[in-house]
Amino acid sequence: MNWPNLITLVRLFLIPIYLMVLPNISYSYKHIFSLFIITIGALLDMLDGYIARKYSLVTDLGIILDPLADKLLLVTVGIGLWLNDKLPLWLIIFIIIREAIMILGGLVNYIYTKVVISANFWGKINTCYVYLLIISYIFNWSVKEYLTIGFIGLVVLTTGIYFKIFLSKIKLKRIPQISSQNRDKIKGF
């Protein structure tokens, strides 16, 4: 266990704090508390990533826990905001389905290849965009519908990129399993 992983665990610990506090505060402050939690989560996410890269503390555990913490925190806050009429249900369902596909895809990939797919540039952009989208709904910005359309496009793009990476990892895993005799036959064609 290193500092970036401990910071990621703090982000995971924000989830039960959010779930315990949200029902006990005034309706008019629920969205502000939600904003506070996702802001703290985003800042801690940037901090743990910075420390991990700067001091070469990137671990397989961190590669798994970091996006999991992002997904669980965003979904939890999103559901809290939906319950308090700040986010539409269809958007929460869309986010949950997308995140579930990503988690299951990562799990299947790891079981099959024993390789952890780390977050890439597009995955990080998607996470930041979700934060922006949620904030736009919290404050009822007039551009939230445009941001929602952009989010759907970004989800399609990032899911496609992730799927392409997933397929390339599986393809690479299959190549070493071909016997040298069969490999020579394949080269002959």
Q: Are 62 and 8 in contact (CB under 8 A)?
A: yes
Spacing of C-alpha 76 from chain mean position: 12
Name the one residue in this structure whose structure tokens are 């999991």. Answer: 68
For 20, the token pair is: 């315990």
User: Selecting from 1.10.1580, 1.10.10, 1.10.260, 1.20.120, what CATH number does the domain 3-175 have?
Assistant: 1.20.120
Q: What is the pTM of this model?
A: 0.81
Q: What pLDDT, on the 0 to 100 scale, is given for residue 180?
A: 52
Q: What pLDDT, on the 0 to 100 scale, is given for residue 189?
A: 42
Other Cβ atoms less than 10 A from the Cβ of 19: the count is 12
Q: What pLDDT, on the 0 to 100 scale, is given for residue 69?
A: 93
CA angle 124, 128, 134 (to 5 degrees): 145
pLDDT tens over the chain, length 189 residues = 799 999 999 999 999 999 999 999 998 899 999 999 999 999 999 999 999 999 999 988 898 899 889 989 999 999 999 999 999 999 999 989 888 888 888 888 788 777 777 777 888 888 889 889 999 999 999 999 999 999 999 989 988 888 888 788 777 665 555 455 554 544 444
